[in-house]
Amino acid sequence: MQHLSRGMQQRLCLAHTLVHDPPLLLLDEPASGLDPRARVELRDILRTLRDMGKTILVSSHILSELAEIATEIGIMHRGRLLISGPVDQIRQQYADQRIIQLRVAHDVQPAIDALQALIQHPELADEHAHGLVIDHISEDPEHPTRLRLVCEGLTDAQQAALLAWLLQRGVVLCDYHLHLEHLEQVFLRLTEAEA
């Protein structure tokens, strides 16, 4: 086994573990040493095993990969469990900022005008999207219709109200997508007091 590459050793260890069809898998950094294709294959294998009813406990420092396969997560720091629970719940609970990406059908200017009108009226902004900031307007000539907004503490009701505000002002949307912070950002926020 010593003559195998690190990635091949990881694959062999996983195959060796699965031979006995265990109900529980404990994996420590299973993607370590794998090339991009092998990482994708590993994620697919872990999802398949999860769908088969296997319990899989993965220890990893690569939080972005865990977010793609895990249903529950525990964040540990200096030997202490800081928080645990469903991935989406933790991301929503600890995300200070929510990012909204918009793509309009034609010209981006009507969307900008509608959003600036909202920002200029604090009572409307509080109702529709507290702390709304137009963070980025795409300067890419191939994608001139994209906007990126940052909102602090955006509730589901405010997100719906913001969408309704844009539609009522004739903005034709092709895409309206909410992004939560990455798990790395949540980890940094939870551990910054102890750093």
* Catalytic center residues: 29
Cβ–Cβ contacts within 10 Å for residue 40, how many?
A: 13
Q: Which residues pair with 28 in a beta bridge?
A: 59
Cα separation, 158 vs 100, in Å, equals 12
What is the residue type of 160? A
State the Cα–Cα distance between residues 12 and 10, nearest whole angstrom. 5
Q: Which amino acid is at 191?
A: T
Q: How far apart are CA 147 and CA 43, in angstroms?
A: 32
Cα 64 from chain centroid?
A: 8
Closest CA to 8 of 42, 41, 34, 46: 34
Expressed in angstroms, the distance from the first to the final Cα of the chain is 40
